[in-house]
Structure 1
Amino acid sequence: MSHLPLRLYVDSLYTSPYAMSVFVALREKGLAFETVPLDLDAGQHQAAGYARLSLTQRVPTLEEGEFSLSESSAITEYLDEAYPDTPIYPADRQQRARARQVQAWLRSDLLPIRQERSTLVVFCGQQMPPLSPVAQAAAGKLISVAQQLLAGNPHYLFGNWSIVDVDLAVMLNRLILNGDAVPAELVAYARRQWQRPSVQEWVNQPRPGL
């Protein structure tokens, strides 16, 4: 089966957790792809050519021949259907639905954590001041949900590794890598996800100094 060339548009600082999610998915599936960094500060994602390619003018966007798709969880779901040999979502339908639920939640809720613990903390070692009360409440919710999902300390959320483990680990690491209080079993879980070669490849991308 011949594949169309794949191109992944990411932010030039390699700090987008959503671009990371798709990058890891492509690596886990063993797919050849070209990474195209865009300088978001310079507005390259708003240029006319990219706007034609990316419906939402955001990164990541995946280009496959004449087809292009933006929004990371839509891309990873598409990749799992288009290239099913190495699954990145649970095989069981209900587990798969749960995985999508967790992805949607991590992307739509917990905004105070994303605001006060940007991924510069995760990928560039930036240190931020203590969480505000509203962010503390969001962190409490994140920790509570993660503890429910990982009751019994499994290695992964759904039995085997899935792309959602990366997404949850990134959110936890916003707190962990800033030195915020996170229960030891969740720290161990996040560390385990971080050790995957596909994740390490993204983490170790060269980044300009802050």
Structure 2
Amino acid sequence: MKLYEFGPNRSIRVRWMLQELGVDFESIPVNLMAGEHRRPEFLKINPAGKIPVLVDGDFVLTESVAIVLYLAEKYPDKGLMPTDPIQRAQVSRWLLFTATELEQPLWRIARHTTLYPEDQRLPDDIRLASQDFKTMADVLEKHMQQRQFVVADRVTVADFVVAYTLDWANEAKLLDGCPQLLAYMKQMYARPHAASRIAQAFASVKA
């Protein structure tokens, strides 16, 4: 397997899954800050110019959530995807919740703070996106009371996606008032095979 990745971004989700699974893979760094994702040779792999990309033999897969789901299904003996249909549905529920209700406000904040040219940034959208995130984070905060993992009583693929997204929110200083989520995030990143935190990954890129 080959993982085209950029340390600080959603590549972390896929790297974390691979490390938890104990799967050998080749890391191929693609420096977004240097524009390497726009090079013709990379666009042949992913015309969208996005990272991460997993290449497994002749199979090329993009989108981090799709990749981690594929890996969970490819290695069922590792138990990262439940076999019970209700629990599987709950995994899908929280993956979709994270990608739509939590991640999208974070993207809006990132676009209007750093990604868009200054003359295109909308400060009001940062405020609205922050409110949207906090409202939905409160839903997850209540869900995680008395829980160690997002679904069932053991770690699943959903936990790696959720934990990374919470680390992103923590970087944006949006987890104040969410003690359950902060504790859960720290617990997840304390796992022996956890990936780097976002801040650590950024530091390594800058270095």
AA matched with 2:55 = E
2:118 maps to which residue?
none
C-alpha contact (below 8 Å) 1:113/1:138 kept by paired residues: no
What is the total number of aligned residue pairs between the two structures?
Answer: 190
2:10 maps to 1:7: no
1:201 deviation in Å?
4.5
1:80 deviation in Å?
1.9
CA-atom RMSD in angstroms:
2.6
1:116 maps to which residue?
109
2:187 maps to which residue?
192
1:147-203 deviation line (CA, Å, top 9, x unaligned): 24313x211111211122122223333343454413222221111111112224466
Q: Describe how 1:135-150 pairs up with structure 2 within 5 A.
A: 135-150=129-144
1:183 to 1:38, Cα distance in 2 relative to 1, 3 A? same
Q: Find 2:84's aligned residue among 72, 80, 92.
A: 92
1:167 maps to which residue?
161
2:69 maps to 1:77: yes
Q: Secondary structure at the match of 1:199?
A: coil
Q: Find 2:205's aligned residue among 181, 194, 208.
A: 208
Q: Describe how 1:37-56 pairs up with structure 2 within 5 A.
A: 37-56=29-48
1:55 deviation in Å?
4.8
Greater shift in the superposed pair: 49-58 or 171-180: 171-180
1:42 deviation in Å?
3.0
C-alpha contact (below 8 Å) 2:17/2:160 kept by paired residues: no
1:65 to 1:175, Cα distance in 2 relative to 1, 3 A? closer
TM superposition score normalised by structure 2: 0.78
Quote the sequence identity (%): 24
AA matched with 1:189 = Y
1:122-143 deviation line (CA, Å, top 9, x unaligned): xxxxxxx9x9531332232232
AA matched with 1:147 = E
Q: Secondary structure at the match of 2:193?
A: helix
1:19 deviation in Å?
0.8
Q: Secondary structure at the match of 1:90?
A: coil
AA matched with 1:9 = Y
Gaps of 5+ in 1: 1-5, 119-128
1:75-121 deviation line (CA, Å, top 9, x unaligned): 11211222222132223222212212222232233433333368xxx
C-alpha contact (below 8 Å) 1:176/1:182 kept by paired residues: no
Q: Secondary structure at the match of 1:208?
A: helix
AA matched with 2:156 = S
- How far apart, CA to CA, are the structure 1 residues paired with 2:127 and 2:4? 36
2:53 maps to which residue?
61
2:116 maps to which residue?
none
Gaps of 5+ in 2: 112-122
